[in-house]
Amino acid sequence: MFSKVLNIFTAFMIFVYFAAGLFIIFAGKMLAGYPTYIRVLFGITIILYALYRLYIFIMKIRKANNYEKDF
């Protein structure tokens, strides 16, 4: 069973990954040493990972809710 603390931490980390991906894509001056295509590729990869984590998180919550309804 998921604890509330674990759910909050997981949701927070999903937000952090998504925000980090956006930051890497749009922080042109701060990451000026890297080519634009590398920043965009890496940022998109991090955003895709955040979306994957969100999908897994939603599936686990749905599974836990269905399990609780059965009993």
Residues 17, 15: Cα–Cα separation, whole Å: 6
- What pLDDT does 70 receive? 58
- What pLDDT does 71 receive? 54
- What pLDDT does 56 receive? 96
CA angle, residues 26, 28, 29, in degrees to nearest 5: 140
* Sign of the torsion angle spanned by Cα atoms 21, 27, 33, 38: positive
Residues 36, 40: Cα–Cα separation, whole Å: 6
Sequential pLDDT tens for the chain (71 residues)? 557 899 999 999 999 999 999 999 998 888 888 899 999 999 999 999 999 999 999 998 888 888 666 55
The amino acid sitting at 60 is K
- What pLDDT does 34 receive? 87
